[in-house]
Amino acid sequence: MRIILKNKETLLYDDFKFKCCIGKNGTTSNKIEGDKKTPKGIFSLGPVFYRKDRIKNLVTKLKKKEINKQMGWCDDVKNKNYNRLIKVNNKIRHEKLFQKKTNYDVLIPIKYNTKKPKKNKGSAIFIHLTKNYRKTLGCLALKKNDLLILLKLINKKTKIQIL
């Protein structure tokens, strides 16, 4: 079974239809770091990262990882850990996963540019939370209840197709 991004605001899975938002500048087959576009293609999903203090009883068949204050995702094109989970370090550009705002209370990394990351091809592409469907920097975002439903339905073999 596959998650399909049908258009800029509709995510499909089986008989479920979820409202979502994507990158401010739409989708692309030629992703560049900072272009605010969501990469097109078919991708696997990583484990679920979540804030245990904010999300109780997370139900999913995916592997779960609790977010702590030391977790970051490297978006520094000059660093060898580009597009990987890292320990927060002020010398390396990164996205903090532990935030005051709630967007990253639950997130699933989309395995885009992760195997052998190509510098400047885009990093930190996640499925994460939104409250208002405001366009993202390249991620895909859903309301909390919808993402929690999706997490109950999918498994480690589920892929996402972004058209």
pLDDT tens, position by position, 136-161: 999 999 999 999 999 999 999 999 99
Mean pLDDT confidence for 84-101? 96
Query: Per-residue pLDDT tens for 36-77?
Result: 999 999 999 999 999 999 999 999 999 999 999 999 999 999
Measuring CA to CA, which residue among 46, 44, 45, 22 is closest to residue 35?
A: 22
Distance CA 110, CA 98 (A): 18
Q: What is the pTM of this model?
A: 0.96
Q: Which pLDDT belongs to residue 134?
A: 97
Domain 2-162 coded CATH 3.40.710.10: no
Average pLDDT of every residue of the chain: 97
Q: Is 145 helix (H, G, I), strand (E, B) or coil?
A: helix
